Structure 1
């Protein structure tokens, strides 16, 4: 059973009982991703690391030596 089928079944059951259905699957995915990113930035600042550009700097360090050898 897919997520959408399960949601449809749950919404039907909730309607039969007179209850409100839960949120649709995927409705809050982007807000969860943003909250995770904000938390990681906050934790980085508390640890004394820079909050912005960490991924770009890590990739530059990792692949800087390989670009010249290609």
Structure 2
């Protein structure tokens, strides 16, 4: 059974029981990524290491680089 089929089955079951539907698959993925990044930064600070910036900052530095 795929994720989509399981979601549809759970949504149908919740509707028939009068409960709220579960969140759709993939709804909270960005929130999980942000929390993982924040945890990584927090652990780096506790260990005394500099916090690395993300890909966006690296690309911005590369773009501003003199030619």
CA RMSD of superposed structures (Å)? 1.7
**What TM-score, normalized by structure 1, do the two folds share?**
0.72
- Distance (whole Å) between structure 2 residues aligned to residue 29 and residue 3 of structure 1: 15
Count of equivalent residues: 55
**Divergent runs of 4+, >3 A:** none
Unpaired runs of at least 5, structure 1? 54-70
**What TM-score, normalized by structure 2, do the two folds share?**
0.75
- Higher helix share goes to which structure? 1
Larger radius of gyration between Structure 1 and Structure 2: 1
Unpaired runs of at least 5, structure 2? 54-67
